[in-house]
């Protein structure tokens, strides 16, 4: 609640402060030194769309520097209770898929490793002790139970939950006594009692009265792990990070971080807290509202290039007029990133949260699909890919297996792709239920049918049998079907529904002529002739 109103104050300040909007571009100093940025995920969940966007903006920022720089991955796993197994591999894998390749990080190496915080515990211990020895940190023996009671009392009094700094003034003998009793303790940072601020590249001056609002924060836990705050700033300092670009949700913590830098006598990096990506209902993107993990889109058949474009579309400073950004021939993520890095400018990054619409991602992907389908080399890859999906889903009984050679099979798939390319978002759409008829013969229960309907279908068969295979086009087929239907004195709607049903097992769907073009002459005739097994006379199907 408080967090929200605090953020709101900052936002209001931003909206009203025109001078700030004009000036903020001058607060980025990156040309002076070798830029080093990091993406520092905690392995508590698979890579989220929002996480990928943070990684992307860091990557683009460093790649857009004339003087060069490094993009580092650091795994922040100090909260051991929240680690999800397999997440680190997943994170690295998804980033690699998206073309975001780190210069340093776990499994890659670098001069500032190790890059996994749980492998750096001795370092944090040393720095925590340094603060303790200097009297800037102190031992706190408050038990979880005491803190819980404190929180409850504050809640009852309708006060903000805050640590009351009780252990700050323990005497030497009190501390000794507790240590002798083997009482566990944490280290807390003694905060100065004044309102602190820092200059954020995007958001201007950010103030937060952390001392009176939160009380002294824990920096080192009783399990000999540092908290996020200590580990984060020690690593940013030792890894020579020059710019921290991270989500706005960390903005409150930054005031604490700046105080820690002061305590060590170090110069903090420059901070840019990125606006959030929100769902269409204005809430933070979360898995409750649908797919938010990069892996889900990857497995669903989305191209990395589409996801990169989708993320760049929201608040990253690329204009709509620049249109979709992809490489000249094949939309590889590396090419997309190269093009983006040339256009990227931190000064253009927005300050307002963005409401994202996943239909935009679909639009990008279908544009990329069409782009790929216009390239000879990528068509062959897509034919192969689709063939693999078909085999996986329909097994050996799919109709490709009835064809005598690979050339025929590929021609068939190529036809499907070219006829349906404007109607799909991902390649896998072509194996969704709606497209089952393309790959397997539908099973159609025998029904009773009027004799004139039966004749009509068989006349269509004769027309198709006579037609030259090369003549299979919508333009040729549609008028002939209409002609036959008119001569049979049948109503158009039931006649077409019957043909569609026999061909696809569906009463609604693409135009009959299109289905025939996809299936080809032989397969279409075979399906239509099934009508001969129907019983004559009854009007049931004619009413469809
Ligand atoms: N470990 C934090 C996270 O999981 C990163 C915070 C930061 O970038 O400083 O999001």
**pLDDT exceeds 90 at position 307:** yes
Mean pLDDT, range 182-187, rounded to an integer: 97
Return the structure tokens found at 347: 């000064």
- Domains in the chain (CATH in brackets) are 21-107+275-374 (3.40.50.620), 120-274 (3.40.50.620), 375-439 (no CATH), 451-542 (1.10.10.350)
Q: What is the DSSP string of 163-222?
A: ---GGGG--HHHHHHHHHTT---EEEE---SS-EEEEETTTEEEEE-HHHHH-SPEEE-T
**pLDDT exceeds 90 at position 13:** no
For a ligand 1 pocket test, name from 46, 59, 244, 250 the mutation site with the most ligand atoms within 8 angstroms of its C-beta: 250
Mean pLDDT, range 451-464, rounded to an integer: 93
Atom of ligand 1 nearest to the CA of 76: 1
Token pair 């919508």: residue: 474
pLDDT at 119: 97
β-strand pairing of 137-140 with 186-189? antiparallel
pLDDT at 123: 98
pLDDT at 284: 83
Per-residue confidence band for 329, with pLDDT thresholds at 50, 70 and 90: low
Count CA atoms within 13 Å of residue 266 on its CB side.
Answer: 21
Q: Is 40 in the pocket of ligand 1 (CB under 6 A)?
A: yes
Mean pLDDT, range 32-47, rounded to an integer: 90
Mean pLDDT, range 295-306, rounded to an integer: 93
Q: Is 243 in the pocket of ligand 1 (CB under 6 A)?
A: no
**What separation in Å is there between the alpha carbon of 47 and the centre of ligand 1?**
12
pLDDT at 330: 60
Candidate from 83-87, 134-138, 404-408, 537-541 with smallest mean pLDDT? 537-541
**pLDDT exceeds 50 at position 120:** yes
CA-closest residue to ligand 1 atom 10 = 41
pLDDT at 542: 43
Q: Is 284 helix (H, G, I), strand (E, B) or coil?
A: strand
Q: Is 59 helix (H, G, I), strand (E, B) or coil?
A: helix
pLDDT at 22: 37
β-strand pairing of 277-278 with 243-247? unpaired
- The per-residue pLDDT for range 411-432, each reduced to its tens digit, is 999 999 999 999 999 999 999 9
**What separation in Å is there between the alpha carbon of 40 and the centre of ligand 1?**
5
Per-residue confidence band for 288, with pLDDT thresholds at 50, 70 and 90: low
pLDDT at 32: 54
Per-residue confidence band for 66, with pLDDT thresholds at 50, 70 and 90: confident
- Taking the CA atoms of residue 196, residue 200, residue 203 and residue 208 in that order, the dihedral angle to the nearest 10 degrees is -20
Percent over 90 (pLDDT), the chain: 70
Q: Give the relative orientation of helices 251-264 and 228-238 as an angle to the nearest 10 degrees.
A: 60
Mean pLDDT, range 75-103, rounded to an integer: 94
Return the structure tokens found at 472: 């299979």
Contacts for 514 with CB less than 8 Å, ≥ 6 apart: 419, 474
**pLDDT exceeds 50 at position 16:** no
| Residue 303 near residue 368 (C-beta atoms within 8 A) | yes
Q: Is 366 in the pocket of ligand 1 (CB under 6 A)?
A: no
Return the structure tokens found at 317: 């400073």
Helix (H) or strand (E) holding 139: strand 137-140
Atom of ligand 1 nearest to the CA of 236: 9
CA angle 56, 58, 60 (to 5 degrees): 65
Q: Is 48 in the pocket of ligand 1 (CB under 6 A)?
A: no
Q: What 8-state DSSP symbol labels residue 62?
A: H
pLDDT at 44: 92
pLDDT at 18: 36
Average pLDDT over the chain, rounded to whole?
A: 88
**pLDDT exceeds 70 at position 498:** yes
CA-to-CA separations, 55 to 34, 103, 281, 487, in angstroms, rounded: 19, 13, 25, 65
**pLDDT exceeds 80 at position 535:** no
β-strand pairing of 277-278 with 354-355? parallel
For a ligand 1 pocket test, name from 58, 105, 247 the mutation site with the most ligand atoms within 8 angstroms of its C-beta: 247
Q: What is the DSSP string of 82-105?
A: G--TTHHHHHHHHHHHTT---SBB
Per-residue confidence band for 10, with pLDDT thresholds at 50, 70 and 90: very low
**pLDDT exceeds 50 at position 100:** yes
> Cα separation of 438 and 434, whole Å?
9
């Amino acid at each position: 609640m408080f967090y929200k109103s605090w953020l709101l104050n900052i936002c209001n300040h931003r909206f009203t402060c025109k001078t700030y909007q004009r000036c903020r571009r001058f607060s980025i100093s990156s040309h002076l030194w070798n830029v080093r940025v990091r993406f520092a995920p905690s392995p508590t969940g698979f890579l989220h769309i929002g996480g990928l966007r943070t990684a992307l903006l860091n990557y683009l920022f460093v790649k857009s520097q004339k003087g060069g720089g490094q993009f580092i991955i650091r795994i922040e796993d100090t909260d051991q209770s929240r680690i999800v197994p397999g997440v680190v591999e997943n994170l690295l894998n998804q980033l690699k898929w998206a073309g975001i390749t780190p210069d340093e990080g776990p499994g890659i190496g670098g001069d500032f490793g190790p890059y996994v915080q749980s492998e750096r515990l001795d370092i944090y211990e040393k720095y925590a002790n340094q603060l303790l020895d200097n009297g800037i940190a102190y031992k706190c023996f408050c038990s979880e139970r005491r803190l819980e009671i404190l929180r409850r009392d504050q809640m009852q009094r309708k006060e903000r939950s805050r640590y009351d700094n009780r252990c700050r003034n323990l005497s030497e003998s009190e501390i000794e006594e507790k240590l002798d009793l083997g009482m566990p303790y944490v280290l807390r940072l003694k905060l100065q009692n004044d309102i602190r601020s820092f200059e954020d590249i995007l958001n201007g001056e950010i103030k937060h009265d952390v001392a009176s609002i939160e009380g002294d924060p824990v920096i080192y836990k009783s399990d000999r792990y540092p908290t996020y705050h200590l580990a984060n700033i020690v690593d940013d300092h030792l890894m020579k990070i020059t710019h921290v670009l991270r989500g706005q949700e960390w903005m409150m913590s930054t005031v604490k971080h700046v105080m820690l830098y002061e305590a060590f006598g170090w110069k903090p990096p420059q901070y840019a807290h990125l606006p959030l990506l929100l769902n269409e209902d204005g809430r933070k993107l979360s898995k409750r509202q649908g797919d938010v993990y990069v892996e889900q889109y990857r497995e669903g058949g989305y191209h990395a290039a589409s996801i990169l474009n989708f993320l760049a579309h929201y608040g990253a400073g690329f204009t709509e007029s620049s249109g979709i950004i992809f490489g000249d021939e094949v939309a590889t993520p590396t090419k997309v990133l190269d093009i983006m890095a040339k256009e990227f400018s931190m000064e253009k990054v927005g300050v307002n949260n963005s409401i994202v619409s996943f239909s935009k991602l679909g639009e990008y992907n279908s544009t990329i699909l069409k782009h790929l389908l216009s390239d000879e080399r990528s068509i062959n890859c897509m034919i192969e890919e689709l063939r693999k999906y078909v085999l996986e889903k329909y097994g050996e009984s799919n109709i490709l297996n009835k064809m005598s050679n690979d050339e025929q099979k590929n021609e068939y798939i190529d036809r499907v792709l070219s006829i349906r390319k404007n109607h799909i978002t991902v390649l896998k759409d072509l194996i969704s239920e709606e497209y089952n008829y393309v790959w397997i013969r539908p099973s159609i229960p025998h029904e009773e049918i009027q004799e004139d309907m039966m004749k009509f279908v068989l006349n269509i068969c004769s027309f198709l049998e006579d037609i030259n295979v090369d003549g299979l086009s919508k333009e040729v087929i549609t008028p002939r079907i209409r002609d036959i239907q008119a001569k049979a004195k049948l109503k158009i709607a039931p006649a077409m529904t019957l043909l569609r049903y026999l061909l696809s097992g569906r009463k609604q769907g693409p135009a009959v002529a299109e289905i025939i073009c996809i299936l080809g002459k032989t397969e279409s005739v075979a399906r239509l002739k099934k009508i001969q097994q129907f019983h004559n006379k009854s009007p049931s199907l004619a009413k469809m």
